[in-house]
Amino acid sequence: METNPRVTASLSARILCARHAHLALVTAWRRHPELRAEPVIVGGAPELRLPVIAASAAASASGVRPGQPLREAQQRCPAAAFVAADPAAVASIRAELLSRLCELAPIVEVGDDTTWCDLTGRHAAHRDETAWAVAIARSIAELLQDDGVAVGVAATRMVAEVAARQSGARRLHRVAPGAEAAFLAPLPLSALPLDPGMAARLAALGLDCAGAVAGLSAADLQRQFGPGGLELWRRVRGEGGVGEGWPVSRLDQGARQLGERVVLEGGIGDLEALRFAVHRLALGVGERLRRRGCRAAVVTLICELEEGEPVGLRTASLQRPGGGAELWPVALELLTRLRLPAPVTAVRLEVEGLEAGAGRQVDLWRGDAAAEEIGGAASRLRARFGTSAVRRAELAVDPGDLPERRFRWADPVMEAAVARSGDGAAVGGTVAPAEKRASEGRPRTAEKRTTESRLPVVSALRR
């Protein structure tokens, strides 16, 4: 029996749907905390000819629905407070929610009152899917200060959304892989996102639940409803529908650029000191990129001079950096190409053209990413406890007779950085080998100590 690869791929996916308060309502609550227990209608003053954008639970209980005219909403719920929508605040909170969830899932889509996350695979920090979903739900509830977050997890978007609707507030409804059809079978057709006309015709035929429709053959439904019948057959079996692929990360315009600036005390003309400052900037910006799960298309390095206009260079990297280890070689190449006519007072590193680097959040997954994470942790321990705290040994090529000469200590972090900068050679060509040669030619610890003493960093300003 042949299997439909699209269906198989869809069933192996795991998607989380979280239903929460409308973002416009959340912004209204933030502006007017005293209205949190009151019926609230967001959309504007009732005398305006505008529709309802969002309504609180108390207002919804009176029959107020999004899309209704505000005047009708006032008639249904006279005691409600009417609040104008604030699109800028909604965009801000959406970006905030997106940024936070990108630290928990590789692919995120934030809607007005629904959020989608990709839970396919296994998270390194959470024992199982339930714990992962709970962490996401808690994060949403904490940020939005909404106690009524309802979460559903299933193999397709539609089933996940139905599961979220079926679960109550502060509840998680998880549909096990392969149990989609069984989950949908007892539900009334009104619980599924179906065309109302089609649902009415099915009801007229005596088909009142999804299981009854799923029991029919695809050919019968196609004869009755045309191409929509096949789509209906797939939906009631929980196999997803056309256009129901992965959720897509959305990055708001405001988050498409990141940058950091380091102010140096006095004018610095020493290239080694500048190199240290740029390295620090690259790690900082790279960390922010990594936490957002983004990659940058354009990297810009700007040096503010003691006298004259700032000078800078920009490069469109072929291998788009998504972390500090990838950004550092690009920034170093820019620094080496830069001609500095005067001492530098401040250095700025900016990345633009951010786009979602799905699956690049190395802290999420086991496997290859673990080595990078462990290397980062070792680097932090070395910074805190000293260079000899975490080391890697390697056998000496010519051990000689003395036991202590059979091995020598290697630096795991620098090794990893050199290896990664070797990958980034496509950007600049000779940066990585030159860097490696430079690091091999002198004692590394002495170099770092000298550089640190030379660089009087006053402050690092984040933009």
Partner 1 sequence: MSTPLSQALAALRRRHGDGVIRSGDTLEGVEAWPTGIPVLDHRLAPGGIPLGRLSLLAAAAPGVSGRLTLLQALTATASRERTAVYLDLTGSLDPGFLADLGADLSALLLVRPPSGLWADGLSMARSLVRAGAPWIAIALPEPRAALVPSGPPDHRLAGQAAVTPSAPQEPQDSTVAARARPAADPGWEHRLTGLVEAVAARRAVCLVAAADPPAALGYAASLTLECVAEGWHEIHGDVLGLRTRLTVARSKVSAPGETVTLLLRYPRPFATAEVMARPEVVDLRTEAAAGIPVAAVG
**DSSP designation for 114:** E
> Residue 381 interacts with partner 1 (CB under 8 A)?
yes
Name which of 124 and 191 has its Cβ closer to partner 1. Answer: 124
Amino acid letter for position 311: V
Name which of 43 and 376 has its Cβ closer to partner 1. Answer: 376
Using CB under 8 A, which of 366, 442, 444, 449 touches partner 1? 366
Question: Measured between alpha carbons, how far is 428 from 316 in angstroms, rounded to an integer?
Answer: 11
Q: Which phi and psi angles does 11 have, rounded to 5°?
A: -70, -25
Cβ atoms 224, 213 nearer than 8 A: no
> Residue 325 interacts with partner 1 (CB under 8 A)?
no
> Residue 112 interacts with partner 1 (CB under 8 A)?
no
> Residue 419 interacts with partner 1 (CB under 8 A)?
no
State in angstroms the smallest separation of the CB of 138 from partner 1: 13
Total number of residues shown for the chain: 463
Name which of 293 and 428 has its Cβ closer to partner 1. Answer: 293
Using CB under 8 A, which of 203, 370, 383, 426 touches partner 1? 370
> Residue 374 interacts with partner 1 (CB under 8 A)?
yes
User: Helices 218-225 and 227-236 sit at what angle, rounded to 10 degrees?
Assistant: 140
Beta strand 150-154 with 298-305: parallel, antiparallel or unpaired?
unpaired
Q: Which phi and psi angles does 441 have, rounded to 5°?
A: -80, -15
Which listed range, 30-38, 143-151, 326-334, 379-387, lies at the site for partner 1 (CB under 8 A)?
379-387
The alpha carbon torsion through 297, 437, 345, 453 (nearest 10 deg) reads 130
Name which of 176 and 426 has its Cβ closer to partner 1. Answer: 176
Using CB under 8 A, which of 125, 169, 176, 219 touches partner 1? 125
Please report, as residue ranges, which positions from 129 to 168 form the binding site for partner 1 (by CB under 8 A): 130
Name which of 28 and 164 has its Cβ closer to partner 1. Answer: 164
DSSP bridge pairs for 93: none
Using CB under 8 A, which of 38, 48, 223, 385 touches partner 1? 385
Name which of 252 and 363 has its Cβ closer to partner 1. Answer: 363
Which listed range, 105-113, 201-209, 266-274, 392-400, lies at the site for partner 1 (CB under 8 A)?
392-400
Question: Measured between alpha carbons, how far is 222 from 349 in angstroms, rounded to an integer?
Answer: 58
* Residue 272 C-alpha from the chain's centroid: 35
Please report, as residue ranges, which positions from 177 to 206 form the binding site for partner 1 (by CB under 8 A): none
Name which of 242 and 374 has its Cβ closer to partner 1. Answer: 374
Per-position DSSP letters for 434-462, written without gaps between them: HHHHHHHSS-HHHHHHHHHHH--EEEEEE
Helix (H) or strand (E) holding 70: helix 70-76
Token reading at 92: 């801000």
State in angstroms the smallest separation of the CB of 379 from partner 1: 10
> Residue 373 interacts with partner 1 (CB under 8 A)?
yes
Name which of 374 and 460 has its Cβ closer to partner 1. Answer: 374
* Residue 215 C-alpha from the chain's centroid: 40
DSSP bridge pairs for 42: 54, 83
Cβ atoms 393, 409 nearer than 8 A: yes
Cβ atoms 189, 198 nearer than 8 A: no
DSSP bridge pairs for 348: 261, 302
Token reading at 105: 């899932």
Name which of 31 and 449 has its Cβ closer to partner 1. Answer: 449
Name which of 69 and 359 has its Cβ closer to partner 1. Answer: 359
Question: Measured between alpha carbons, how far is 404 from 192 in angstroms, rounded to an integer?
Answer: 72
State in angstroms the smallest separation of the CB of 160 from partner 1: 19
Using CB under 8 A, which of 406, 448, 449, 462 touches partner 1? 406
State in angstroms the smallest separation of the CB of 58 from partner 1: 24
Binding site for partner 1 (CB under 8 A): 124-125, 127, 130, 366, 369-371, 373-374, 376-378, 380-381, 385-386, 388-395, 399, 403, 406-407, 412
